[in-house]
Amino acid sequence: MTNLDVRQLWTGLLQGDESLFYRLYDTLYTGVLAYGLKFSPDRELVKDAINQTFLYLWQKRASLPDAQSPQAYILTAFKRRLISMLESRQGIPSSSGWPETWNEPAETSHEQVLVHQDDTYRLQETVSAAIASLPPRKQQLIRLKYLEGLSYREIAVRTRLSERTIYNKLHEAVKTLRTQLADTDTPYPSVLTAQLALR
């Protein structure tokens, strides 16, 4: 998604168009999340901060600036909120300054942070349908492993399953997935190759 598109969505927000507002959210979500996770590994907290930030944007839409780079504006608002949430949780008064680890993560530019979100929606319908038909438990493991990128050990702690069980379950899930994909009669043999190739 180019900058122009984000600006169009931002204009939509300023005009109070709710559906464009959600599109702005969908578009920037991944980038903002990745940015937030550099400050805190607590995914739930970061997700909460994102929603609070967007709720704020929506409520203040009448007084928001016509920003040249909405991404930068949103990231700044998000960062302030996340830090204040981290602070209030840890009971650190704002005058004490940030711990070292809260410094701006190195090599972070707004453009960079939001660039890779472009790949987010590159889902093929066949693949997503096949995954959707897996049992919820396996889907949860898939999320922990392939989205949050946790190690088997970390997942074991989180789910109280043994590492071996988790490994086996994921292995089974992948097998099922491949069988289903092979059964699907799609006109394109390279149905998977479409958008998911690594850059």
Partner 1 sequence: MQQPVTIEYLVSDETFIAFCLGTDPDAIAYWTQKEQQHPQHYAVYREARELVMALHAYSQAKEIEEEASKLKALLHGPDEAVMAADAIPDDRRIQWRVPVAAAIVLLAGIYCFLLLRRPAVTLIMVQTSAGETKQISLPDGSSIWLNAESRLQYPKPFGQKREVALLEGEAYFDVMHDAERPFLVTTPSGMRVLDIGTAFNVKSYTALEEESVGVVTGEVLLSHPGHPGKSRLKAGEGGIVDKRSGTLRLAHYSGEAAGWMNGNIVLNDVSFRELQLVLRNTFKIQLLFSDTAMADCRITTSFRRNEKITDILRTLKIVYGISYTTRGDTIRLKGTPCT
Nearer to partner 1, 52 or 159 (CB): 52
Judged by the rule CB under 8 A, the positions of this chain that interact with partner 1 are 1-2, 4-5, 8, 18, 22, 25-26, 29-30, 47, 50-56, 58-59, 77, 80-81, 84, 87-88, 94, 119-125, 127-128, 131-132, 139, 142-143, 145-147, 149, 151-152, 167, 170-171, 174-175, 177-178, 187-188, 192-198
| Spatial contact of 45 and 89, defined as CB atoms under 8 Å apart | yes
Provide the sign of the torsion angle of the four alpha carbons 30, 44, 51, 77, taken in this order.
Answer: negative
Q: How far is the CB of 152 from partner 1 (least distance, A)?
A: 6
Nearer to partner 1, 15 or 193 (CB): 193
Classify burial at 162, counting beta carbons within 10 Å of its beta carbon; exposed 0-12, middle 13-18, buried 19 or more.
Answer: exposed
Least CB distance from residue 122 to partner 1, whole Å? Answer: 5
Cα separation, 95 vs 159, in Å, equals: 39
Of the two residues 162 and 195, which places its CB atom closer to partner 1 in the complex? 195
Task: In whole angstroms, give the CA distance from residue 193 to residue 183.
Answer: 17
CB 159, min distance to partner 1, A: 15
* Minimum CB–partner distance for residue 103 and partner 1 (Å): 18
Least distance to partner 1, CB of residue 53, Å: 8
Q: 106 or 198, CB closer to partner 1? A: 198
Structure tokens at 7: 């600006």
| Shorter beta-carbon distance to partner 1: residue 80 or 137 | 80
- The pair of structure tokens assigned to 153 is 């050990």
Q: Using an 8 Å Cβ cutoff, are 185 and 175 in contact?
A: no
Nearest approach, Cβ of residue 76 and partner 1 (Å): 10
Which residue type occupies 32?
V
Q: Toward partner 1, which CB reaches closer, 62 or 132? A: 132
143: left (phi over 0), alpha (psi -120 to 50) or beta: alpha
Distance CA 137, CA 170 (A): 10
